[in-house]
Amino acid sequence: MSLSHSAGFPHVVITRRVPQHILDYMASAADLQLWEEDHPIPYQTLLDRVPGCAGVYCLLTDRIDAALLDAAGPGLKVISQMAVGVDNIDVKACTARGIPVGNTPGVLTETTADLALALMLATARRIVEAAEFLKAGQWQTWRPMELTGQDVYGCTVGIIGLGRIGTAVARRLRGFDCKLLYTNPSPNPEAEKLGVTDVDLETLLKSSDIVTLHCPLTPETRGLIGAGELALMKPTAILINTARGAVVDQKALFEALQARRIGAAGLDVTDPEPMSKDDPLLTLPNVVVLPHIGSASVATRTRMAQLAADNLVAGLQGEHLPHCVNPEVYD
Ligand code: DGY
């Protein structure tokens, strides 16, 4: 579908339908070519659509690589992603071509932190298992030790990545009287005020009842939690991942959970996505897996779509993007 308002407008490729008022807003500044399907645009189709475009509005399901940038050509002024994570985009290749890349930090922080807490509670208190137990007609009476789990209140939580979302998780957990540890590439100046103690990864893994991941996926964090790291965790420990699936070695995680070398896992992200319904992790009672819904409230997804539109329009107009992951393009 092409939403064309005026000849001579910059051409923009949009890889998925977003709320109509946001499309209308972008259409006031550009000629939009929209992928109408409700699944990701095939890479080859995207490649065929980008020649001569001035902007691409994309999602985390799209691969934006050097070949795509070259296919777009020298008129490409902006890549705007409706997500905070940009691991699907070759940012270095964009920077090398002077193309700013926009993302949507901030607006999804609290919603994603809420979901991390939901996964902690769901796994520690065996919520999904208990609901399935009831639906299966297995609830016969109140038994003293039936479906007993672990307390979240008062436990030790290790936060890997104390950025915006990690900080919002820490704030929530203070209300649960948790002892909080963190590890981050650089110390967070807010940590002391938040009551979060800076430790190394090994100490964090050995000491935490819950380990929660809030780091971006980068070459350094890919496979950060593998067999060795899982072996350091307590046999009752819970791993929560609302960051990116590939931060965890999923095969090693399955083995650790199956052998009860750790207690449980709550995953909102997997590698690959979508996770196959036949994935062995789904056979385990001590695992809750969700389909990447961390930011999925109506208000937050709408804010993300709008912020990505703001980035796009700024880029088309030659202005600095409100949120740019490679500001060095402006040097
Ligand atoms: C992001 O924005 O990177 C999130 O994973 C989407 O919820």
The response to whether residue 15 sits with its C-beta less than 6 Å from ligand 1 reads: no
* pLDDT at residue 8, as a whole number: 79
Would you say the CB of residue 84 lies under 6 angstroms from ligand 1?
A: yes
149 Rama sector, left if φ>0, alpha if ψ -120 to 50, beta otherwise: beta
Phi, psi of 306, rounded to the nearest 5 degrees: -70, -45
**Catalytic position from the list 220, 273, 319, 328:** 273
109 CB near ligand 1 (under 6 Å) = no
- Say whether 11 is catalytic: no
- The domain defined by 109-289 carries CATH number 3.40.50.970: no
pLDDT tens for 234-249 read 999 999 999 999 999 9
Least confidently predicted of 7-16, 18-27, 148-157, 298-307: 7-16
Query: What band does 4 get if pLDDT is binned at 50, 70 and 90?
Result: low
**Which pLDDT belongs to residue 51?**
98
108 lines ligand 1 (CB under 6 A): yes
Cβ of 245 below 6 Å from ligand 1: no
Q: Is the pLDDT of residue 206 over 70?
A: yes
Confirm whether 273 is a catalytic residue: yes
Label residue 269 exposed, middle or buried (CB < 10 Å: 0-12, 13-18, 19+): buried
Indicate which residue of 16, 49, 214, 244 is catalytic: 244
Q: Is the peptide bond prior to 144 cis by the omega test (within 30 degrees of 0)? A: no
- Residue 83 Cα, ligand 1 centroid: separation in angstroms? 5
pLDDT exceeds 60 at position 53: yes
Give the burial string for 229-252 (b: 16+ CB within 10 Å, else e).
bbebbbeebbbbbbbbbbbbbbeb
Give residue 306's pLDDT. Answer: 98
The pLDDT of residue 227 is above 60 = yes
Asked if residues 241 and 257 have their Cβ atoms less than 8 Å apart, the reply is no
292 labelled catalytic: yes
| Mean per-residue pLDDT, 8-15 | 95
Question: pLDDT tens digit string along 152-172?
Answer: 999 999 999 999 999 999 999
Q: Alpha carbon 41 to chain centroid distance?
A: 20
Q: 2-106+298-330 belongs to which homologous superfamily?
A: NAD(P)-binding Rossmann-like Domain (3.40.50.720)
Sequence ranges of the chain with CATH classification 3.40.50.720: 2-106+298-330, 109-289
Q: Return the ligand 1 atom nearest residue 244 CA.
A: 5
